[in-house]
């Protein structure tokens, strides 16, 4: 029997274990009186947190939506002119603006690259943590948590210094290694190099959550399942793809949703590292664009409309992801 066939067999056994566990849990919930009568119990436990979130989120979201429907500029803020109701005119203005469509596309592509890169680095390091000794594992965990705990402004400033064209050590090291064209090279001058630099910083401060979460999930996988796959001759990559990934899919779904939300609304890194959106706004993303429209141009209603569009996009992505998880039986 080939290694590929043995890996598929191990994956099937792993799925069988997972399916039996979910089935037993579901039967236990259906069969117990507590499972039938306590359907509202989780909501009662969540009620305090939901109340706090409602107080902190519902009113601001309501105000955001309301301002997006009004004519709200500096004149209205100062009380010089009455506020008028515009309905969906602000949204029509945005959708007909080629600048907005360009920034929206750039935001989607940039966020997708950040999410994929963060998940790839986090998954790789999570697997690495399971294969190193205690001391290297502790050092890696501390280094990752240090990156995670660093404030966004501080981390962005450090990365700007590292790649500074005059004083940054990165250009000095590349020049010392014989690479030509990096003496005085500006990494934030070009559009794609600036986006790449910001992407590296976003991944650097985001991968620790993915790494720690997946590491905990890997530790929860039954050891006999991984041992069976290894004894069947499956490689590390094959074990990850055919055994670990299917069992970790619920956790991957959660960290993917979190990464999409965080990376889609990146503001600090872009604003600090590209000095407000790059040369002629070439590195704008929606959050920075909304800030410029609202506070630099004093068109608060358009800035609010951009915020509502971002909220709707993130809500749609989250609901689709949760729907897919529920279809696979991996969510509530």
More confident residue, 180 or 21: 180
Q: What is the pLDDT of residue 239?
A: 84
* pTM of the shown model: 0.81
- Which domain range does residue 177 map to? 104-298
318 in any annotated domain:
no
User: What value does the mean pLDDT of the chain take?
Assistant: 85
pLDDT of residue 215 exceeding 90, the answer is yes
156 in any annotated domain:
yes
267 in any annotated domain:
yes
Phi, psi of 78 (to 5 degrees): -80, -5
Tens digits of per-residue pLDDT, 59-113? 889 999 999 998 888 887 777 777 788 889 999 999 999 999 999 999 999 999 9
Residue 264 to residue 306: CA distance in whole angstroms: 13
Percentage, residues of the chain above pLDDT 90: 49
Domain count within the chain: 1
170 in any annotated domain:
yes
pLDDT of residue 218 exceeding 50, the answer is yes
Q: What is the pLDDT of residue 312?
A: 94
Query: β-strands 70-71, 84-85: how paired?
Result: antiparallel
137 in any annotated domain:
yes
Q: What is the CATH number of the domain that holds 156?
A: 1.10.3720.10
Tens digits of per-residue pLDDT, 147-181? 999 999 999 999 999 999 988 999 999 999 988 88
The alpha-carbon radius of gyration of the chain (Å, integer) is 25
Q: Can you read off the two tokens belonging to residue 78?
A: 């100062």
233 in any annotated domain:
yes
Length of the chain: 332
H or E stretch at 12? helix 3-31
33 in any annotated domain:
no
Which residue, among 222, 232, 218, has the nearest Cα to 9 in the 3D structure? 232
pLDDT of residue 25 exceeding 50, the answer is no
Alpha helices by DSSP H, listed for 150-190, are 152-162, 169-176
289 in any annotated domain:
yes
Phi, psi of 95 (to 5 degrees): -65, -25
Q: What is the pLDDT of residue 182?
A: 87
More confident residue, 12 or 170: 170
Per-residue pLDDT band for 21 (boundaries 50, 70, 90) equals very low
Q: What is the pLDDT of residue 213?
A: 93
- Strand (E) positions, 168-310? none
Which residues sit opposite 70 in a β-bridge?
A: 85
Residue 30 to residue 28: CA distance in whole angstroms: 5
H or E stretch at 260? helix 249-264
DSSP label of 73 = B
Per-residue pLDDT band for 15 (boundaries 50, 70, 90) equals low
């Amino acid at each position: 029997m080939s290694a590929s066939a043995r890996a598929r067999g191990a994956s099937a056994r792993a799925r069988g274990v997972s399916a039996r566990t979910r089935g037993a849990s579901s039967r236990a919930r259906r069969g117990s009186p507590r499972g039938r009568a306590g359907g509202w119990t989780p909501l009662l436990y969540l009620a305090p947190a939901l109340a706090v979130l409602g107080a902190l989120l519902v009113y601001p979201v309501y105000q955001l939506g309301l301002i997006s429907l009004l004519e709200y500029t500096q004149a209205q803020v100062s009380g010089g002119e009455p506020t008028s109701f515009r309905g969906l005119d602000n949204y029509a203005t945005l959708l007909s603006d080629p600048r907005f469509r360009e920034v929206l596309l750039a935001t989607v592509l940039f966020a997708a690259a950040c999410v994929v890169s963060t998940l790839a680095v986090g998954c790789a390091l999570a697997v690495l943590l399971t294969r190193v000794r205690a001391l290297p594992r502790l050092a890696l965990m501390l280094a990752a948590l240090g990156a995670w705990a660093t404030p966004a402004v501080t981390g962005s400033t450090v990365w700007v210094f590292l790649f500074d064209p005059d004083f940054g050590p990165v250009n000095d090291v590349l020049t010392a290694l014989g690479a030509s064209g990096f003496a005085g090279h500006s990494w934030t001058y070009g559009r794609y190099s600036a986006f790449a630099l910001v992407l590296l910083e976003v991944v650097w401060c985001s991968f620790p959550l993915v790494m720690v979460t997946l590491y905990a999930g890997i530790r929860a996988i039954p050891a006999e399942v991984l041992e069976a796959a290894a004894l069947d001759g499956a490689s590390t990559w094959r074990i990850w793809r055919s055994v670990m990934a299917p069992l970790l899919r619920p956790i991957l779904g959660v960290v993917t949703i979190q990464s999409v939300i965080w990376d889609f609304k990146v503001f600090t890194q872009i604003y600090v590292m590209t000095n407000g959106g790059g040369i002629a706004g070439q590195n704008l993303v929606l959050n920075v664009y909304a800030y410029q429209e609202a506070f630099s141009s004093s068109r608060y209603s358009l800035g609010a409309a951009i915020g509502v569009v971002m909220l709707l996009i993130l809500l749609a992505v989250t609901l689709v992801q949760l729907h897919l998880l529920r279809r696979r039986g991996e969510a509530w």
